[in-house]
Structure 1
């Protein structure tokens, strides 16, 4: 008779093999990949950084860094309030009317007070005596979530894994109240992701300010264990394997890459005085920033990150209005590039304009599009064009559009429990009554852009930068269909798991009904 110890070892071996097989079956790639690759040293180092949870180095840094944030306050009475909101004026680099919005009134004394505080803080971080912690050579994805955003994040992470990416992920939550053991310890763990609780780090130093959710992005970057980071909002995901971006220009040359928003810059002239920078000649040099996606190297841009954190720490009432003057999306979005610029650290803002995607709005409601997502493009192809002096943002005919790379599905959030809510300003899943009122794809127009997401033929014209021959297809699957496959999986497999879904009924049933009606699956 086999000894009980041997039986136990065999049972453990069989169980391990079975779990490995099931995970490999679940995580097989369906979205386009850049080709199979072996896990490299970046993945193994970053994975090691995830476990066990150890906030020690981050806590030590925060103890030293937090007092500097309080030591150099703006020094004036706030809040700064623009005379009126800057408004939603689209970015157009050929716009001859590029006068900068000047909506915030500051006297020279207040400007000088903020300038002195800014200079003092910059001197502290320039001294080299303090730097955020990271594991050298590591790379990974960072996001913030919690509450109703956790289901959205899990869907986005499943889309990330569908590209073939093996990058580890750190998910930052505000506090223990947002920690959900079933999600963090089981669901996210199986996606090679872990939860990090910000309050465990914040509690190591007494702050004069309460840090709100909308200020968390720079702190997540600051306290991440990764050196090279792709930050993604919880509702943003790649449609190609993002691993390749770390080993390609523009990231390898610049160390910071951002993507554009729809709007022109509305940074106040006073900010440039405060940060001791010359006032840009026009507002048409680059668009404002859409910060749902950021590539950043902490080893090259630690100072920029610390200054961006200063801007966010003193953001409400001070740097937020100075950097946006009430324009759409006012918040952290403009703090990263302005910080790098103030410190003369390099950055690459992708020039290719983002695309809004949605479905048709009837003429009775003003016409146009009911947009529910934004599409951002491949920075490698954009860089290849701009280095040749080809700027599609100025003249689209100079080259075909780069490949789409990220989708930011933000209006509304595609949370299975609420996406069908009729109270949303945009109802992405249903036609307007004037158009029939039935279930509909969320992303139908613009047709030439949406075609890029369905594996259909791309634009006619010259070959895209970096390709010997023009591909007939941009992606190999219907991305929206795959997105809804993942939404359905989360809705049905985790229907009773998320705390924010407690008391909700029919989540899985509603999603299944929609997916069957619209996609036939």
Structure 2
């Protein structure tokens, strides 16, 4: 038998020991459970930086938008759709309040079809920017909206949410260094400047919301407007029905749909019955870009050409005309699923002396409880007595914005949310009592506690508050008058049912 020289023997032994060491490290660091198949190296370890992904996406997407422009005059207004409340029982004729020639209809239809074909065939050239599996909350804010957003963000954290947050701003003029660099990161949020991606020369040509969604690093998104906040953890909605099966969840507005029959012809869809669903209120929505990427691209097309063509077709001058109808209509046009919460939006405020409601916010219901009802064929939108009302999940404090440095105090707004009938300080949200009871706890007090923190800790830091004095003092006076001690007429809540 051949002898192994001592030097070669040492080499063999060292090689064997190295293999054993590497194997031991691999076995130690690699999960052994059957349910875990992913590498222990984080998926983001070798990712291209977000800014580069955004730039590459925009470089590929912008030509598709521009190549498929509707080369025809804007649809002409005949009349505006009124504020007609949604009727889920009685079928009505779809309003036709827009005028278009057959040639213009054909031009828009072909441009729409070409764009849909382009995004379906784009393949890897149009790669999404998000990190697979990443969840987060996206919003937009700047100028007067930034203090409002910060109060909403603190309400998000107060609810127990740990979702990372990206807040998009139109351009660098809205970027406030103190807030963006020091305050927001401590709350798990970061500022993003949209003009850094798309350029300042095009930022005014479309609505910001859809592009904030497309450019965000999150695959599954909770969207909240700056003046919207949750009463629970929004991430729980992303792991529940109806989001799991639909991938897109929206909430209703007060009004009936007023989309033009021309829109359905242009998008090659059959118009749904007027009883099918309300118009949309997109202060909050949920979307998965993994399942609805094409829908979001088409929604971006509707927004890019919204002011010139699509906003008119989708709302015909109805209340809140803008980007609000683009999400559901795009998903419908692409044949992708969606769930529209059926429970009616609620208006909350306080009663007027002469009767009626002085409203200053909207309430949106828990989609999980709504889905549990509709899955059993229970539609409270048709018969409110058919089942128990879902709890409130989102509050959209939209009129006025609850910015203590603006007109939320006094008589600057017709709703005078912070004043009682006798002119003294009072609660904004006391009616309707049955809707307020569905909060489950004293949400208004909690909200003002966060507004007080923002006002008294950052009074000198917001750019729009620079020339304003006594903001913290005014908030503290209001707090002491309204919330410091209980009052006999405080609302009652139903935490358990």
TM-score scaled by structure 2? 0.86
**Conservation of the 8 A alpha-carbon contact between 1:416 and 1:511:** yes
Match of 2:418 in 1: 429
How far apart in 1 are the matches of 2:183 and 2:340? 34
**Conservation of the 8 A alpha-carbon contact between 1:81 and 1:317:** no
The 5 A counterparts of 1:58-73 are 58-73=54-69
Match of 1:278 in 2: 270
Match of 1:116 in 2: 110
How far apart in 1 are the matches of 2:107 and 2:219? 34
Match of 1:499 in 2: 463
C-alpha root-mean-square deviation of aligned residues, in Å? 1.9
**Conservation of the 8 A alpha-carbon contact between 2:242 and 2:368:** yes
* Count of residue correspondences: 442
How far apart in 2 are the matches of 1:498 and 1:45? 37
- In 2 relative to 1, CA 53–413 (structure 1 residues): closer, same or farther, beyond 3 Å? farther
Runs of at least 5 residues in structure 2 that lack an aligned partner in the other structure = 1-37, 486-497
How far apart in 1 are the matches of 2:203 and 2:95? 30
Q: Secondary structure at the match of 1:118?
A: helix
The 5 A counterparts of 1:266-415 are 266-280=258-272, 282-363=273-354, 367-415=355-403
**Conservation of the 8 A alpha-carbon contact between 1:429 and 1:440:** yes
The 5 A counterparts of 1:431-450 are 431=420, 435-450=421-436
Aligned mate of 2:443, from 479, 492, 517: 479
Match of 1:202 in 2: 198
What's the CA shift string for 1:159-218, capped at 9, x where partnerless?
000011100000001111111111001110011000010011013xx97x5535x70000
Aligned mate of 1:451, from 437, 446, 449: 437
- In 2 relative to 1, CA 513–355 (structure 1 residues): closer, same or farther, beyond 3 Å? same
Give 1:437 shift: 1.7
Q: Secondary structure at the match of 1:271?
A: helix
**Conservation of the 8 A alpha-carbon contact between 1:45 and 1:135:** no
**Conservation of the 8 A alpha-carbon contact between 2:170 and 2:203:** no
**Conservation of the 8 A alpha-carbon contact between 2:169 and 2:191:** yes
How far apart in 2 are the matches of 1:119 and 1:354? 34
How far apart in 1 are the matches of 2:264 and 2:139? 30
**Conservation of the 8 A alpha-carbon contact between 1:131 and 1:302:** no
How far apart in 1 are the matches of 2:127 and 2:331? 16
Q: Secondary structure at the match of 2:358?
A: strand
Aligned mate of 1:508, from 472, 479, 484: 472
**Conservation of the 8 A alpha-carbon contact between 1:439 and 1:518:** yes
- Residue 132 (structure 2) pairs with residue 136 (structure 1): yes
Give 1:83 shift: 1.4
